[in-house]
Amino acid sequence: MTTTIATKPIAGQKPGTSGLRKKTAQFMQPGYLENFVQSIWDGIGGVIGKTLVLGGDGRFFNDRAAQIILRMAAASGAAKVIVGQNALLSTPAASHLIRLRGADGGIIMSASHNPGGPDEDFGVKYNTANGGPAPESVTNRIFAATESITQYLTLEADDIDLSALGTHQLGAMAVEVVDPVTDYQALMETLFDFDAIRALIAGGFQLRFDAMHAVTGPYAVAILETTLGAAPGSVVNAVPLPDFGKGHPDPNPVWARDLMDTMFGTAAPDFGAASDGDGDRNMIVGRGVYVTPSDSLAVLAANAHLAPGYAGGLKGVARSMPTSCAVDLVAEAKGIKSYATPTGWKFFGNLLDAGLATLCGEESAGTGSDHVREKDGLWAVLLWLNILAARRQSVAEVMHDHWAEYGRVYYSRHDYEAIDSDIANTLIADLRGRLDTLPGTAAGALTVSKAADFAYDDPVDGSLTEKQGIEITFEGGARLVLRLSGTGTEGATLRVYLERLEVQRDQMDQDAQAALAPVVTAAEALAEIRTRTGRTAPDVMT
Ligand code: G6P
Ligand code: ZN
């Protein structure tokens, strides 16, 4: 039976870089999730007769939230919801399922790489029929609906057994429970030379994949171990847990410390990788060599043609503006275009849909292609494995060859987390106010050549997105970007992105932080980060 529940707008339900993310306890407050879900339905013009995909990364409240969303979809007239078994779907697998099944859209329950648990984070994101995160025109309508909501619809019904594959009935709506891995794996098999990777592994190549107790565990075990023959146990932390084993499921050198230690230790395997809470991010490490996400994007762009799915070459590439310019150098050499977009995977959707770009990537450990409309952690791992199998080289050899050919862009991101929002906003606003005066002036030992507030003119739909970060370029090829994170849930996070191009062959093996010291000094001179925030050092350096 459908019931109508009166409600009132709840402040702060504005979707950020990637959906609505809040503390789990906030999401669990009566009406909080319900208000947002009803606002999604209202923002997309209702769900009558529609087919949706639903899944999440398995974090705490994922299972309960799935039942609430199913009842609300049924109450509002959806025809069908396709759900991953146990309400699990990695973000790229959800994107694929939306496209494969021609669904009208989907809901992904995840706060990505943020920790999970009753005291940690939860999130809900809506993806459109192309499989990608809803563009701002849609999220703005959803937000507007949260501000005027007066009621939501739900159904009085028992929970659906989401562990049972097959079709269930919820009121008049069908709930189809599917294996979360099968369709995704089939897609991967069309893109990559599984035989070549299998032969590489059979020849003694060892790998370690850290699923960080998050959603990629079942995917990685099925693909890397069962199908490609990696030794059992090559996938570690493979069972998704509601609190990710109390870890921080973010694949970077800080949070994937164990993997880094293994890869830099004496018994290191040939290849190491990790993925995040919902399976869209990736980290790549070779024996004794960490590959920055920006470099990974560049290497993948340079070598993608070695995989069957990309044998015809790339139509173009795209990176978020704070991602290093390494991929631009590859694009230039290949005579294809490299687009710079604002941070947030959703900005790649139009370029991919319009066939302007094939590969995309972000410094925040996201890489992907036009095979889905999300970034894809395991896809990046498989493309790397395919490249290593084809080139018959180690990760370190691939990197050195790459730098020798294109130059090395030293890169690092410094994060100042949970700082006072007013201080962060003022820091950015003050710098913004001075941009016109900066070109030609000195900042430490560097000289500013360009300073701009990044705005993106979407070449496909003509939409303009402004104030996406401050980009300062220095004479000699160094660059500094400052922006505030759109995904944090506490105070503000200031991100400072630093890069410097090095072309001298004998300078390719410096420590990144040392190589970037002049840019760090310039950043402090220009933005007074330490003085204003009272912090002596960043919280995280990646
Ligand atoms: C999410 C988005 C990415 C984005 C990242 C960092 O993972 O999907 O596209 O790059 O967040 O966002 P932030 O605003 O925290 O820098
Ligand atoms: Zn993620």
Ligand 1 mutation target, pool 17, 280, 341, 483, most atoms within 8 A of CB: 17
Question: Which residue is listed with tokens 């109390």?
Answer: 246
Q: What is d(CA 136, CA 141) in angstroms, rounded to the nearest whole number?
A: 8
Q: Are residue 28 and residue 170 in the same domain, yes or no?
A: yes
Ligand 1 atom closest to 362 (CA): 10
Question: Which residue is listed with tokens 């996201």?
Answer: 366
Q: For 509-531, write each residue's pLDDT tens digit.
A: 999 999 999 999 999 999 999 99
Q: Are residue 261 and residue 364 in the same domain, yes or no?
A: yes
Residue closest by Cα to atom 6 of ligand 1: 364
Quote the DSSP letter at residue 304.
G
Task: Kindly give the distance from the C-alpha atom of residue 48 to the centroid of ligand 2, in angstroms, as a whole number.
Answer: 30
Q: For 2-20, write each residue's pLDDT tens digit.
A: 999 999 999 999 998 789 9
Q: Are residue 354 and residue 480 in the same domain, yes or no?
A: no
Question: Which residue is listed with tokens 């005579």?
Answer: 335
Q: Are residue 172 and residue 201 in the same domain, yes or no?
A: no
Task: Kindly give the distance from the C-alpha atom of residue 350 to the centroid of ligand 1, in angstroms, as a whole number.
Answer: 18
Task: Kindly give the distance from the C-alpha atom of residue 3 to the centroid of ligand 2, in angstroms, as a whole number.
Answer: 34
H helices of 281-394, in order, are 293-303, 326-334, 349-353, 377-391
Q: Are residue 328 and residue 463 in the same domain, yes or no?
A: no
Domain count, the chain: 3
Ligand with smallest separation from the Cα of 282: 2
Quote the DSSP letter at residue 489.
S
Question: Does residue 463 carry a catalytic annotation?
Answer: no
Q: Are residue 343 and residue 221 in the same domain, yes or no?
A: yes
Question: Which residue is listed with tokens 């959800």?
Answer: 94
CB 19 within 8 A of CB 125: yes
The enclosing domain of 420 has a CATH number of 3.30.310.50
Give the C-alpha distances (Å, rounded to integers) separating 506 from 69, 92, 103, 263, 275. 57, 40, 53, 25, 33
Quote the DSSP letter at residue 156.
-
Average pLDDT of the residues in 335-362: 95
Q: Are residue 93 and residue 220 in the same domain, yes or no?
A: no
Residue 209 has phi, psi (to 5 degrees) of -120, 120
**Buried-exposed string 100-132: b where 16+ CB fall within 10 A, e elsewhere:** bbebbbbbbbbbbbbbbbeebbbbbbbbbbbbb
* Per-residue pLDDT at 346: 85
Ligand 1 atom closest to 493 (CA): 15
Ligand 1 neighbours (beta carbon < 6 A) = 17-18, 112, 320, 343-345, 362, 364, 366, 485-487, 495
Q: What is this structure's pTM?
A: 0.95
The enclosing domain of 251 has a CATH number of 3.40.120.10
What is the rounded average pLDDT for all residues in the chain? 96
CB 274 within 8 A of CB 294: no
Q: Are residue 333 and residue 424 in the same domain, yes or no?
A: no
Give the C-alpha distances (Å, rounded to integers) separating 358 from 131, 188, 460, 503. 15, 16, 15, 27
- How much of the chain exceeds pLDDT 90, in percent? 96
Task: Kindly give the distance from the C-alpha atom of residue 339 to the centroid of ligand 1, in angstroms, as a whole number.
Answer: 17
Q: What is d(CA 198, CA 291) in angstroms, rounded to the nearest whole number?
A: 23
Task: Kindly give the distance from the C-alpha atom of residue 150 to the centroid of ligand 1, in angstroms, as a whole number.
Answer: 32
Handedness of CA 60, 66, 72, 76 (dihedral sign): positive
Task: Kindly give the distance from the C-alpha atom of residue 334 to the centroid of ligand 1, in angstroms, as a whole number.
Answer: 28
Catalytic-labelled residue, pool 39, 90, 110, 112: 112
CA diameter of the chain: 73
Residue 412 has phi, psi (to 5 degrees) of -155, 155
Nearest to 216 by CA among 60, 344, 380, 16: 380
Ligand with smallest separation from the Cα of 216: 2
SS3 369: strand
Residue closest by Cα to atom 13 of ligand 1: 485
Domain-terminating residue out of 386, 406, 426? 406
Question: Which residue is listed with tokens 């937000």?
Answer: 143
Nearest to 214 by CA among 280, 261, 292: 280
Q: For 264-301, write each residue's pLDDT tens digit.
A: 999 999 999 999 999 999 999 999 999 999 999 999 99
Residue 339 has pLDDT above 90, yes or no: yes
* Per-residue pLDDT at 136: 86
Q: Which two tokens stand for residue 450?
A: 């360009």
Q: For 91-123, write each residue's pLDDT tens digit.
A: 999 999 999 999 999 999 999 999 999 999 999
Residue 487 has pLDDT above 80, yes or no: no
Lowest mean pLDDT among 221-225, 489-493, 494-498: 489-493
Ligand with smallest separation from the Cα of 111: 2
Dihedral of CA atoms 479, 485, 491, 494 in degrees, nearest 10, equals: -10
Pairing of strands 51-56, 105-109: parallel
Q: Give the number of other Cβ atoms within 10 Å of residue 334's Cβ.
A: 16
Task: Kindly give the distance from the C-alpha atom of residue 376 to the centroid of ligand 2, in angstroms, as a whole number.
Answer: 9
Q: What is d(CA 319, CA 304) in angstroms, rounded to the nearest whole number?
A: 16
* Per-residue pLDDT at 489: 66
Ligand 1 mutation target, pool 319, 343, 540, most atoms within 8 A of CB: 343
Element counts in the chain: helices (H) and strands (E): 18, 27
Q: Are residue 158 and residue 289 in the same domain, yes or no?
A: no
Domain-terminating residue out of 354, 380, 406? 406
Ligand 1 atom closest to 363 (CA): 10
* Per-residue pLDDT at 486: 82
Q: What is d(CA 123, CA 311) in angstroms, rounded to the nearest whole number?
A: 37
Give the C-alpha distances (Å, rounded to integers) separating 201 from 5, 265, 288, 318, 379. 56, 21, 19, 31, 17
Average pLDDT of the residues in 178-207: 98
Cα–Cα–Cα angle for 455, 457, 460, nearest 5°?
A: 155
- How much of the chain exceeds pLDDT 70, in percent? 100
Residue 97: half-sphere exposure toward Cβ, Cα within 13 Å: 31
Ligand 1 atom closest to 112 (CA): 7
Residue 484 has pLDDT above 70, yes or no: yes
Q: What is d(CA 162, CA 166) in angstroms, rounded to the nearest whole number?
A: 9
* Per-residue pLDDT at 34: 98
* Per-residue pLDDT at 139: 94
Ligand 1 atom closest to 345 (CA): 9
Residue 24 has phi, psi (to 5 degrees) of -55, -40
CB 394 within 8 A of CB 281: no
Ligand 1 atom closest to 344 (CA): 9
Residue 156 has pLDDT above 70, yes or no: yes
CB 73 within 8 A of CB 160: no
Domain-terminating residue out of 406, 426, 443? 406
H helices of 28-90, in order, are 32-43, 62-75
Ligand with smallest separation from the Cα of 487: 1
* Per-residue pLDDT at 17: 74
**Counting beta carbons within 10 angstroms of the beta carbon of residue 514, is it exposed (0 to 12), middle (13 to 18) or buried (19 or more)?**
exposed
Q: Are residue 87 and residue 145 in the same domain, yes or no?
A: yes
Distance of CA 250 to the CA centre of its chain: 10
Ligand 1 mutation target, pool 364, 419, 468, most atoms within 8 A of CB: 364
Q: Are residue 289 and residue 426 in the same domain, yes or no?
A: no
Residue 41 has phi, psi (to 5 degrees) of -55, -45
H helices of 51-100, in order, are 62-75, 91-100
Structural domain including 14 reads 2-180
Task: Kindly give the distance from the C-alpha atom of residue 278 to the centroid of ligand 1, in angstroms, as a whole number.
Answer: 13
Name, in order, each residue with C-beta under 8 angstroms of 244's C-beta and a sequence gap of 6 or more.
Answer: 59, 115, 116, 117, 212, 213, 214, 277
* Per-residue pLDDT at 415: 95
* Per-residue pLDDT at 439: 97
Residue closest by Cα to atom 2 of ligand 1: 344
Residue closest by Cα to atom 9 of ligand 1: 344
Q: For 28-81, write each residue's pLDDT tens digit.
A: 999 999 999 999 999 999 999 999 999 999 999 999 999 999 999 999 999 999
Ligand with smallest separation from the Cα of 349: 1
Residue 488 has pLDDT above 80, yes or no: no
* Per-residue pLDDT at 254: 87
Nearest to 216 by CA among 276, 143, 147, 140: 276
Ligand 1 mutation target, pool 345, 428, 495, most atoms within 8 A of CB: 345
Residue 229 has phi, psi (to 5 degrees) of 90, 10
Q: Are residue 148 and residue 220 in the same domain, yes or no?
A: no
